Amino acid sequence: MEIVILQDATEVGRAAASKIARVVANKPDAVLGLATGSSPLAIYAELARRVREEGLDVGRTRGFALDEYVGISAEHPESYVQVIRREVIEPLGLNPDNVHVPDGRADDIEAACAAYERQIFEAGGVDIQILGIGSNGHIGFNEPTSSFASRTRIKTLAAQTRADNARFFGSADEVPMHCVTQGLGTIMDAREVVLVAQGEQKADAIAAAVEGPVTSMVPASLLQFHQNATVILDEAAASRLALADYYKYIAENKPAWQQYA
């Protein structure tokens, strides 16, 4: 993995948005993998600014959300249908018909998961997948011990994940117990991955994912095997990395054509 350490969340969002904008510029109908939560918000804000002020053309850009809660109405403000609409589709001006979210309300969840996998395949696969990371090392909602070969499926959320996501609801008890999530195998199929993390609360998970062994106990560690994965961090999220100075040295001495921040 390439590790990029920047000063704050704004710089993290700007650097990640630069990578994504480059993909879209080279392939106008690019397929983006869309994460939710607080980690990617600065990315979406910067992409929206580039659309408004720099003419970034996303008219043909397509998107697939990573996950969705089960047992929550599509009108609930914290359903990912609404979050993606509010944070991505409307600010960037994406065509809503080109953006898809897993169906957590289907009568047959297994069939809906299989259909979502087919949609991604028929779209040509994800060109660049945006990821955050949970405090327990999950990506998407692939909790610890998830299969590295897993595809889109229903998962039971860990107690830690429900506690972490309580900030979006009234309490942890209001966070749904189940979700539909792209699997680790699905995520690894993306041609490029960019994971962002901000804040000291993510530092232990980042250290385990980047410098620890590859293990299902830290699902994000599987990205060590991805052919094109970039991890972009602020100083706080990078604070437990043993080789932080080395990663900064690499970034400072990259050839000009590899720069994107």
Active site residues: 67, 136, 138, 143
Neighbouring CB atoms inside 10 A of 83's CB total 20
The Cα–Cα gap between 81 and 261 comes to 30
Rg (alpha carbons) of the chain, rounded to whole number: 17
Nearest to 238 by CA among 4, 18, 37: 4
Q: Which residue has the tokens 């921040």?
A: 261
Where residue 199 falls (left for φ over 0; alpha for ψ -120 to 50; beta otherwise) is left
Q: Which residue has the tokens 């779209």?
A: 123
Structure tokens at 89: 């589709």
Can you list the alpha helix ranges (DSSP code H) found in the chain? 9-26, 41-54, 80-84, 90-92, 109-122, 159-164, 184-188, 203-211, 244-252
DSSP 127: S
Neighbouring CB atoms inside 10 A of 123's CB total 16
Distance of CA 46 to the CA centre of its chain: 16
Tell me if 65 sits within 8 A of 86, measured CB to CB.
no
